[in-house]
A and B are shown apart, each in its own frame.
Chain A
């Protein structure tokens, strides 16, 4: 009876119980993490109850289909998970620093750490953060009122949150997988890992992966169908181009992962033999499918970051992006090439030299369009007027560190070198070298850049600078030494090591990890300080950085309907052009009613049901799996019978709000860029043109 109800869930699944039974340091660390999750949940629930915030949370956020709110929720999820991922990283660095024949974590615990760290950082930090920024910014940049499919957008968020929730629950119940973020079988097959670990990984990846595929479809359709009049493809900001490329990758690259994980699930649950050792299973198929997703994935992450850097560098240089067409071609070539290089993740599998050479050359070819982008950004700075704000500090760090990552990338693209440094810390250093300075710095630059748009006040500059410098230093101290260790043959995923020569370098890396932890703390303090001082940081007029694209032409924070009237786009960098030609901040002759989608709870219901579904499958509670699956199906099908799904915002209300804002803009004095980070900057930019106008083209 108990087995029918609880499946294979028992007392020893509780990490707290394990720590009571066996109070070693390793178990205590695990129990501490579980306690943190439980306490965090408890504190959140109590605070929400105490401040009576359940209602607003439900009405304004959880059931909202507004792309801006969904975007913010994505970013919040990513930042919470980032905290966990960084703490895990610091734990692993500490373990290795003390790991000469020992350390304080058990090898099993260490392997869970690197598995969750990788899974979280890719799927529940980088991807939601990117989805969040895209969600918030892209519709504003193309002059749209919302995503093409607002409800599906909410479902995507719900499914991503489901995956993250399953990974968090694995801290309290059971154990996570130990096979790294890629979880190659047969190691993760039921013969070698009968426990719930790989199942946690499978279901969090499958459910979140479906969400991401849906996001990709949503982004692509929005870009194809929802652009404002005049916003031709070649007038879109570069960021929107990068979103097109990323959504293509989301649509085509996520399914191989979902399929591979489901095939692994079939092996584990239904006694299939896709990847088992016996009965003709072949693990090489898994490896191919995984990287057929895995390589486009890293471009899925970095391409929008390129887009953010394009916006940031152009804006803070007060200048058009250099080589727009080059940028478009380069981005598209990267997106296409990203599907032709997956084999470089396993040059050492024993295939022929011809295959290796073909994939090696294809991988190296990506360096060409990437190099062009870097040069284009430099040319964008050339003859500009650069302000070293926080996003530009990240961009500078990116310039230096990312090209080092590119250098090691060209090395790893070469099979001859890969034979030596594959599976070593050299590889770990390389991908952190492109993902931290590339993706994360890009996202943090975007966070500082668009935060005032989303919330109506700027982030504190001092704490932001401190965080940026600490991130740059922390990254350099942590990961550049790992190149050296990798060249000397230290394998990745080693809980311990035996060569004393590695010790000083690992200490150096630990120092770097501490700096990263400090950087994260600075970001948290910055957010707190900025919220506290929001009155002196306020930028309600909407254009704090002398912006160039449409999102800066509306109030901060923008109204629910984004644009009071549909923008008519006449040029690339339309808002910058509007400001020079004095057609910005004009009042339309006539306002119209706007129809907006209603709130819905579908996303939240699916999130809760899918989390239960995942947990039920992990612990073999079949009745719960069946019930929650049925609930998911019903929650999607039943709302199709609703006929009233939109509400109308009357023209009079829009007119009043818009006129009030226009009056404030007219009354405000425009500030020059010296005052950009000062209290006097309310979000109206002074037009600054060169005294001697250069011939533009």
Chain B
């Protein structure tokens, strides 16, 4: 489309110029996967179409203000002029056309990029369960039997099917360079798919304020070659400790990943990362059903709550 070419160029240059200043790989303006790339394309297209309605305002306001300034006695003065059928058609018509075009586009891309939809890829998808804890992210690999804190590794060109929830207050999960965000809510299950085109390291984060440690709740999303991923899995299995109920109780307290490392005496990996060599397969479901038993859950048994006491809730989420 012509509009796409004409109006696409300027913002595109702008985006690249801006993105170039930033650390690579942390924004959808420098996409590393098909979803983020489509989101950037959508962004540029909306910018282009909307400028059709906006540029006249930018251009004409100073012209009008200058031409019809009070001292300019050459300009025509028509104090009672207040309607013009032609202008009326233009004023309603142009925004209407733009919004209609954008609406069709919106309907199409909203369905195409629905986070619940798996991303087409030649490789079999990788399942990961993500649990938002207060100020860290727990990633469980149910098919590999391992888990990590604040590190999400996966092979390139593979659709990662994320099942998400939180074991505290609401959070929002975002890896900007790969795909958009999705809320994680207590007792609820949301889904997201991400795929990286090539190996790389991207910042992931929680964007929903959840207390004093909120700005530290970042994680590394690392796309690897298949062989590198295999050796990463081996590394997690060999240097990690098992994720027992007791360990989980420590993790579920309101602390950052770095603090949890110290509390569990784990290896001081940078970025508050922890590795767990084994994990209970039902952990995600247990978290999901913590509040669904029809009995009251006292504060002491609510991870993240002020009175949370891991001792009181070791093992059984609901005692």
Contacts and interface: CB of A to CB of B under 8 A. Distances in A.
A348 B215 contact: no
Interface string A309-330: 0000000011111111010000
Contacts of A193: 306
Nearest to A370: B95
Interface in B173-202: 174, 176, 179-183, 185-188, 190-191
Interface stretch (B107-115, B261-269, B273-281): B107-115
Given A107-B212, A322-B82, A403-B54, A417 B77 contact: no
A4 B31 CA distance: 60
Interface residues of B, number: 104
A487 B82 contact: no
A279 B294 contact: yes
Contacts of B187: 277
Contacts of B96: 368
A383 B29 contact: no
Interface string B61-91: 1001100111100011111111110011011
Nearest to B55: A403
A278 B57 contact: no
B124 interface: no
Interface stretch (B2-10, B41-49, B226-234): B41-49
A690 B185 CA distance: 66
Nearest to B94: A371
Given A364-B103, A494-B215, A184 B170 contact: yes
A420 interface: yes
Given A107-B213, A107-B214, A320-B79, A386 B68 contact: yes
A383 B109 contact: no
Interface stretch (B17-25, B138-146, B150-158, B244-252): B17-25
Contact of B68 (A111, A383, A403, A495): A383
Contacts of A484: 18
A488 B78 contact: no
A417 B58 CA distance: 24
A282 to B, nearest CB: 8
Nearest to B271: A498
Contacts of B213: 107
B176 A410 contact: no
A375 interface: yes
Nearest to B38: A416
B82 A323 contact: yes
Nearest to A317: B68
A424 B90 CA distance: 36
B92 A416 contact: no
B318 to A, nearest CB: 9
A383 B186 contact: no
A115 to B, nearest CB: 10
A350 B190 contact: yes
B29 A487 contact: yes
B215 A385 contact: no
Given A283-B185, A357-B107, A491-B206, A368 B65 contact: no
A179 interface: yes
Nearest to B203: A489
Contact of A371 (B51, B95, B107, B169): B95
B297 interface: yes
Contacts of B212: 106-108, 111, 495
B126 interface: no
Interface in A602-638: none
B169 A417 contact: no
A494 B214 contact: yes
B208 interface: yes
B57 A186 contact: no
Nearest to A382: B64
B236 interface: no
B181 A348 contact: yes
Contacts of B190: 349-350
A488 to B, nearest CB: 5
Contacts of B103: 360-361, 364-365
Contacts of B18: 484, 487-488
A152 B64 CA distance: 45
Interface in A50-75: none
B137 interface: no
A534 interface: no
Contacts of A321: 82
B18 to A, nearest CB: 6
Interface in A531-545: none
A20 interface: no
A674 interface: yes
B169 A694 contact: no
Interface string B106-144: 110111011110000000000000000000000000000
Contacts of B307: 191, 194
Nearest to A411: B46
Given A111-B209, A419-B181, A368 B170 contact: no
Contacts of B81: 319-320, 322, 383, 694, 696
B80 A353 contact: no
B39 A420 contact: yes
A179 B169 CA distance: 11
A350 B191 contact: yes
B95 A350 contact: no
A151 interface: no
Contacts of A499: 22-23, 26, 203
Interface string A553-593: 00000000000000000000000000000000000000000
B220 to A, nearest CB: 12
Interface string A122-157: 000000000000000000000000000000000000
A35 interface: no
A350 B165 CA distance: 11
Contact of B186 (A107, A186, A324, A673): A186
B207 interface: yes
A424 B46 CA distance: 19
A385 B70 CA distance: 4
A383 B113 CA distance: 48
Interface string A362-389: 0011011001101110110111111110
Contacts of A179: 209
Most-contacted residue by chain B among A178, A319, A488 (CB, 10 A): A488
Nearest to A326: B88
B4 to A, nearest CB: 16
A323 B83 contact: yes
A384 B75 CA distance: 9
Interface in A378-414: 378-379, 381-388, 396, 399-400, 403-404, 406-407, 410-411, 413-414
Contacts of A284: 185, 188
A442 interface: no
A94 to B, nearest CB: 16
Nearest to B72: A385
Contacts of A400: 57-58, 61
Contacts of A452: none
Contacts of A690: 76-79
Most-contacted residue by chain A among B28, B81, B90, B205 (CB, 10 A): B81
Most-contacted residue by chain B among A107, A413, A417 (CB, 10 A): A417
B27 interface: yes
Given A320-B82, A494-B214, 8 more contacts: A107-B212, A192-B306, A350-B190, A357-B106, A385-B69, A491-B208, A690-B77, A697-B80
22 contacts: A106-B212, A111-B212, A284-B185, A348-B172, A350-B190, A360-B106, A360-B110, A375-B91, A379-B91, A382-B64, A385-B77, A403-B58, A406-B50, A410-B50, A415-B110, A419-B179, A419-B181, A420-B43, A491-B207, A495-B215, A499-B26, A499-B203
Which 8 A-B pairs have CB atoms at the shortest separation, nearest pair first? Answer: A419-B180, A423-B207, A107-B212, A696-B80, A371-B95, A350-B190, A278-B297, A493-B209
